[in-house]
Amino acid sequence: MDFSKYQFSFGIHREKQVIWVRFPNLHSLRLDLKTRFPSAKWSNTNKAWHLPDLKSVREALALPPKPIVESKKSNQLSTDNQKALQNFIDQLSLKAYSPNTMRLYVQ
């Protein structure tokens, strides 16, 4: 399966995190995708294929891992405070806090 023929993006479908897969409508590409990823589904509303946004799928597609912690209000912070928040998250990660604890501290 040649990943250069596919375009990947992240999104939400039916309240679940997914990876959108777009490619030219060729039978061979569709067959390769379904063979490599049996969990691939077609979304008629978005007119695109999607995969569940899982760590194993991201690794197989050579996509960057999900951020451990995402702050919902980080876009409302000033740039200085965004840097401070990122430093805080890095510090928690260095101290080996669990992702759940980090998520609770940051939100």
pLDDT digits (tens, 9 = 90+) for 47-105: 999 999 998 999 999 998 887 666 666 778 888 988 888 899 889 989 999 988 988 88
Entry pTM: 0.70
Sign of the four-CA dihedral 88, 89, 93, 98 = positive
- Residue 6: how many other CB atoms lie within 10 Å: 16
Q: Which residue did the predictor score with more confidence, 70 or 19?
A: 19
Interatomic CA distance for residues 48 and 21, integer angstroms = 6
